[in-house]
Structure 1
Amino acid sequence: MADEVTIRVAGPGDAELIHKALVSLARSRGTEEKMVASVPDVLSHGFGKDPAFETLIAEVDRVFAGLCLSFASFSTWRGERGVYVQDLFVEEAFRGRRVGERLLCEAARRGRRKGARYLRLSVDVENTKAQSFYERLGISHSRDEQIHMIKGEEFEAFAEAEQN
């Protein structure tokens, strides 16, 4: 069954499909209200002259099975390029067929060809199924770091603040 999976790089014509999968991912996590990105956002930021991310699409018999959305990263401490996986989604009907693993491996291969030497991702604290999946693949939890974030109006105010 796993041999039926094909992976391709998404193009601009896939923006709606990508958005739909991201909404499904948010819905599966019970956080659909947090998903505010639109199809035009996916199109404008993922494709064109300076794309912010790359999306790999997995298909089984030409049917969408999942996606892996990633972008380049850099570790100043390691002095190396890396790959950051922002989103990994596999349709329920295709889970258990190594689709997610294949997508992650392809993202790693593509990154390695561009000089990447590591892969990073973050997982929702409550998503224990995903945590177990990543651990099985050898992608272990980094106990040395915590993610901190500022967003929305607070980010705007921070970016505009004058530093004296």
Structure 2
Amino acid sequence: MRPNDHPEIRLAHRDDAQAIHAMLFEIAVTTGSEDKFKSTPADIARDGFGDQPLFEAMIATDDQKPIAVCLYFPSYSTFRGQAGLYVQDLYVAPSHRGGGFARKLVALVAKRAQETGKAYIRLSVDANNLIGQRFYEKLGMRPADDERIFVLDGPAFSALAGE
């Protein structure tokens, strides 16, 4: 059976937490990061759909089956003097890749950003994900070659926070 040409794409809600979590796990599998993947569906439900949501997500379904997700949260650029959105995760099921769903999801996130007074989208992409990099460039995004992402977590985070 061929997937629908027009799946439903909407803002995710609490009932989508399990499906969102499953798609995020697929990203971890694809990037060989299963050992780093620690979140649970309860984390997604609590942090995305609680009293003070830390993120939003657009979700696509085909015949009510989740097929894609774009998870994002607010960002602020002191250099721009403007707010934006940071896309944390973008996933499309293999059965639906190449159908324009990723572009539609990012376009809806851009529209959501614009409607809420935000002026840009930022994201990072795995250094080895050349297909993803080409996709983002086709959207009009450009790499920030003058920046590097640094992470502070685990024991180093605890030690610094304890100073």
Q: What is the TM-score with the length of structure 1 in the denominator? A: 0.94
Matching residue within 30, 33, 36 for 1:34: 36
* 1:90 alignment counterpart: 92
Which whole-Å CA distance do the structure 2 matches of 1:2 and 1:129 have between them? 24
Matches within 5 A, 1:49-128: 49-128=51-130
Give the aligned residue type for 1:150: L
Q: 1:58 is paired with a residue of what secondary structure?
A: strand
Structure 2: segments with no counterpart, 5+ residues: none
Give the aligned residue type for 2:122: R
Which whole-Å CA distance do the structure 2 matches of 1:2 and 1:121 have between them? 29
Preserved CA contact (<8 Å) 1:4 1:61: no
Which whole-Å CA distance do the structure 2 matches of 1:142 and 1:37 have between them? 28
* 1:139 alignment counterpart: 141
Q: 1:88 is paired with a residue of what secondary structure?
A: strand
Q: 1:129 is paired with a residue of what secondary structure?
A: helix
Q: Deviations over 1:63-87 (max 9, x none)?
A: 2220000001100110001010000
How well do the aligned residues superpose, as a CA RMSD in angstroms? Answer: 1.3
* 1:149 alignment counterpart: 151
Give the aligned residue type for 1:59: T
Give the aligned residue type for 2:35: E
Query: How far apart are residue 156 of structure 1 and its match?
Result: 1.3
Preserved CA contact (<8 Å) 1:2 1:99: no
Give the aligned residue type for 1:45: D
Query: How far apart are residue 113 of structure 1 and its match?
Result: 0.9
Query: How far apart are residue 61 of structure 1 and its match?
Result: 3.1
Q: 2:20 is paired with a residue of what secondary structure?
A: helix
Query: How far apart are residue 29 of structure 1 and its match?
Result: 1.0
Give the aligned residue type for 2:140: G
Preserved CA contact (<8 Å) 1:53 1:69: yes
Which whole-Å CA distance do the structure 2 matches of 1:5 and 1:118 have between them? 26
Query: How far apart are residue 5 of structure 1 and its match?
Result: 2.6
Q: Runs (4+) of structure 1 moved beyond 6 Å?
A: none
Query: How far apart are residue 52 of structure 1 and its match?
Result: 0.6
Q: What is the TM-score with the length of structure 2 in the denominator? A: 0.94
Query: How far apart are residue 2 of structure 1 and its match?
Result: 7.7
State the number of aligned residues.
Answer: 161
| Identity across the alignment (%) | 40
Give the aligned residue type for 2:15: G
